[in-house]
Structure 1
Amino acid sequence: MLAVAGICLAIGAGGIGVATGPVWADSDLPSESASPMRNVSGLVAPVVKAVELGVTPLDGAREVNPAVLPSVKAVNGVVKDVVLQSESGGAPVPGTISADGSTWTAGDPLEFDTRYRYSFTIVDLAGRETKKVQSFSTVGAANEADAAVYPRGGSTIGAGQPIEIVFSEPVINKAAMEKAVKVTVSSGQAVAWRWYSDRRVRIRPESFWAANSRITVDLKLFGVDFGNGMVGNSNVPVSYKVGTQRLAVVDDITKTMKVYFDGRLVKTAPVTLGGEDWLSPSGYAVIMEQERRSKFNAGSIGLKPGDKGYYPPLTVEYANRLTSSGVYVHQALESAWGAVGRFNVSHGCVGLLPADAEWFFTNMKTGDVVQTLNTGAAPVEPLEGFGDWNIPWAQYGKR
């Protein structure tokens, strides 16, 4: 007769652990292994080994990670008639049974915030069947986590555009997250991750993205443990094409802008930069957005009527934003045209004559790079836009 012991093996979160104990209490099947002697005529009947049963997840488990595929394994027996489905109804979760009949494994991941019912039959080596019903529940909706990626997938990006991922929940295990998100670059460029917080990270190569290369960011977040009980709820692949490598170099000494496409000089134009009270930031900046006409307000930089440098609200032509605080490349105001190429009169922006401003707006794109030299001001901070290129490569990937 059979004594059935339950050996529940597990590998993950949500009540899945290691436990040993009776699978079915008060079984109608007494143990044969305890009484190997026989008093019946004929051949001695062999002792039937006890079935060792492993079920994942455990009966009654809660907050089960939906990426952990449920399974039923019988040692010294076979499994049949396995049905795993939501208690609220719907189609059963598909699964497969191993060639020897000992193991059933789910074929699809589970749903979040769902209570499942597990029914199956175990057949021992004597051909006797025992049915079992168990239940468990998966991670609740309040513990789901996901991520948003910028730029939008499928777009063509500038060669200076870092890829930004913002997670809906704090990422505690950052090393594990970096392994879960695979970044592939057709040019073969290696990338580094820069964590600005537990939720915000940016990714870039050592030098600008190679022109016409393709980038794929495969966020395999489903089932990934963010920490604090939060679990990723989706897999999100995004891809980009890199356009021409465009770089505008602005020099405060010469008061000129030189524009290079794929390393070739294509445009030279005079500029005016920030005056002595409003020095233009130095270093690298990335074009964040472009507006044919943009409304400027001195209040956005802390000025009010009567303050030195205050100006009334105005509309600026051909505006290309470089920082969130309001540094732009744009057409200089008509009153400043005489200063272009000669001296600085702006509040930190790069001012161009009308024809040059129109050319810049038309030919440069978001994600392209503007490098400003010799202003005496500090570089653009990384989160003041995309000042990531002002961080040396050796430091960029350090947490």
Structure 2
Amino acid sequence: MNHTAKSARASSAAVLTWAGLLTVLALLTGCTDTREALLNGKARSPGDVISVFPENGAKDVDEETRIAVKVPDGRLESVKVMRIEDAQQQTVAGRIAEDGRSWAPEPKVARLALAAKYSIDAVAVDAQGRRSARHATFTTLVPEHRFIGYFKPENRSTVGTGMIVSFAFNRPVADRAAVERAIRVTSDPVVEVVGHWFGKDRLDFRPKTYWKPGTEVTVDIGLRDVEGAPGVYGSQDKTVVFTVGRHQISRVDAEAKTMEVRRDG
């Protein structure tokens, strides 16, 4: 009787051992299948799902480069491109194509800023509704040569009615039209202003008529990344505001050693 019981227990143990072995083999097979699925691309990384250009970590990117975001299948749900690490972050305007497979900047978007850092954040959805996210950054070329314009009058100053807005550049300007377009002089009340060059390093903006007393004049200097000469780029991006004081004309008679001053008339 005892011998029979021991045999039964041994048989049960053997069955359990084989069942355990089969379970382990099944688990190993499942792991192998999962590994093969990963190797076969069924579980892709965000970099495989969403491609960006310039690539993440790219450096010295040319200003003419066009940013691109694409997916091989599914669709892009959202894309946000920003110029970062500035006092004010700027969003790069763009849109997702009708088929949802790509994003590109708007045609009117200007060239990339030089010496700048950009970020790309994109979210895509595949056919099964699964989402993938991608974050990338790149930096643009830092020009070796820069030019600046020393201007007058100074910001927040009060000037006379005949004041001229004048720029003296530290390097000769070859593309004078591009530099002049990058500087905008406006006033309230409105006065027509005309630019005039003196050689290659001085630009004056003169009002067609005298400024009226109390006029507020705004000078928008958008010279940053403007190519003033081959390989030489501007570095200034600022706004200057000054106010016109009372009308005053001084006439000097050197022989008589007298000076006549007329104010407001």
Please state which band the TM-score falls in when normalised by the shorter chain: 0.5 to 0.7
- Mapped contact 2:82–2:92 kept (Cα < 8 A): no
Q: Secondary structure at the match of 2:174?
A: coil
- Mapped contact 1:74–1:103 kept (Cα < 8 A): no
- Mapped contact 1:222–1:234 kept (Cα < 8 A): yes
Tell me how far 1:222 sits from its aligned partner: 3.3
Could you tell me how far apart the structure 2 residues matched to 1:150 and 1:214 are? 15
Q: Secondary structure at the match of 1:215?
A: strand
Q: Secondary structure at the match of 2:144?
A: helix
Q: Which amino acid aligns with 2:76?
A: V
What is the aligned partner in structure 1 of residue 26 from structure 2? none
What are the equivalent positions in structure 2 for 1:1-399 lying under 5 Å apart? Answer: 62-65=60-63, 70-72=67-69, 78-79=75-76, 98=95, 102-103=102-103, 112-113=114-115, 137-140=139-142, 142-251=144-253, 256-263=258-265
Q: Summarize the Cα distance change of 1:119–1:258 in structure 2 as closer, same or farther, 3 Å threshold.
A: closer
Q: Which amino acid aligns with 2:63?
A: N
Tell me how far 1:151 sits from its aligned partner: 1.6
Q: Which amino acid aligns with 1:79?
A: L
Tell me how far 1:134 sits from its aligned partner: 8.0
Q: How many residues align?
A: 206
Q: Which amino acid aligns with 1:171?
A: V
Tell me how far 1:129 sits from its aligned partner: 9.1
With normalisation by structure 1, the TM-score equals 0.39
Consecutive unaligned residues in structure 1, runs of 5 or more: 1-27, 30-52, 87-91, 264-399
Tell me how far 1:111 sits from its aligned partner: 7.0
Q: Which amino acid aligns with 1:103?
A: W
Identity of aligned pairs, percent?
Answer: 26
Range with greater deviation from structure 2 (214-223 or 127-136): 127-136
- Mapped contact 1:219–1:235 kept (Cα < 8 A): yes
- Mapped contact 1:171–1:226 kept (Cα < 8 A): yes
Could you tell me how far apart the structure 1 residues matched to 2:52 and 2:233 are? 22
With normalisation by structure 2, the TM-score equals 0.55
Root-mean-square deviation over aligned CA pairs: 4.8
- Mapped contact 2:68–2:103 kept (Cα < 8 A): yes
Tell me how far 1:197 sits from its aligned partner: 3.5
Q: Summarize the Cα distance change of 1:229–1:93 in structure 2 as closer, same or farther, 3 Å threshold.
A: same
Max Rg structure: 2
Q: Summarize the Cα distance change of 1:76–1:245 in structure 2 as closer, same or farther, 3 Å threshold.
A: farther
Q: Summarize the Cα distance change of 1:131–1:54 in structure 2 as closer, same or farther, 3 Å threshold.
A: closer
Q: Which amino acid aligns with 2:62?
A: V
Consecutive unaligned residues in structure 2, runs of 5 or more: 1-39, 42-49, 84-88
Could you tell me how far apart the structure 2 residues matched to 1:54 and 1:135 are? 13
**Larger proportion of helix:** 2
Could you tell me how far apart the structure 2 residues matched to 1:248 and 1:95 are? 52
- Mapped contact 1:61–1:135 kept (Cα < 8 A): no
Q: Which amino acid aligns with 2:103?
A: T
Q: Summarize the Cα distance change of 1:148–1:70 in structure 2 as closer, same or farther, 3 Å threshold.
A: farther
What is the aligned partner in structure 2 of residue 356 from structure 1? none
- Mapped contact 2:149–2:168 kept (Cα < 8 A): yes
Tell me how far 1:154 sits from its aligned partner: 0.4
Q: Secondary structure at the match of 2:180?
A: helix
